[in-house]
Amino acid sequence: MLRAACLAFPLVAFAMLGGCSDPVPPTPQGAFNVQFTKTSGCPIASHRSEVGTISASDKTAVVIDGVEGATVTCSVSGAGPFNVSAQVRLGSDGINLSIPAINVGATEASPAVGSLAFFSDRTAGDAFSSSKCDFYFKEGTGEGIAGGKLWVSFKCPEVVESTNTCGISESHLILENCDL
């Protein structure tokens, strides 16, 4: 009997070590709506593209990385200014963005500048991009930023694909459960 107890103790101790692992981090999720705008040099009609359902003040639905074909990868790091990089994609609609430095106080009058690439079924999958997009928080909404999460408005006066120049008027993006 003593011999069985001596053999059982190491097995129980070893089994308990499995409970010491780090918890699985939450899965990244996000949503966007982009108001693509036809300008004088733009051959594509104005249209709205949405992945999930959000606005400046409402979050109705987000997509979760790996669920139903969605891809959400993101990092919102720092403590002010924050550095943001992200990709949100579902089907033929997607957005990639980078904001090297955005503070809690970014406004439409004093925005953070970042880069963005946007594509949709209406752009035939062609990415329209700009390195001069304005990112800002609208007062009186749920928008804001903290480590691992961002809810922001943005616009890009010009987005370019090859020789085509179009625009993105006020649009919105939310990211949650991002890397820090």
Asked if residue 2 has pLDDT above 80, the reply is: no
Over residues 77-120, the pLDDT tens digits come to 998 899 999 999 999 999 999 999 999 999 999 999 999 999 99
Over residues 44-55, the pLDDT tens digits come to 999 999 999 999
Q: Where in the chain are the domains?
A: 25-176
Q: What pTM was estimated for this model as a whole?
A: 0.86
> What torsion do the CA atoms of 25, 70, 157, 131 make, to the nearest 10 degrees?
60
Average per-residue pLDDT for the chain: 91
- Other Cβ atoms less than 10 A from the Cβ of 118: the count is 26
Segment 160-177 mean pLDDT: 97
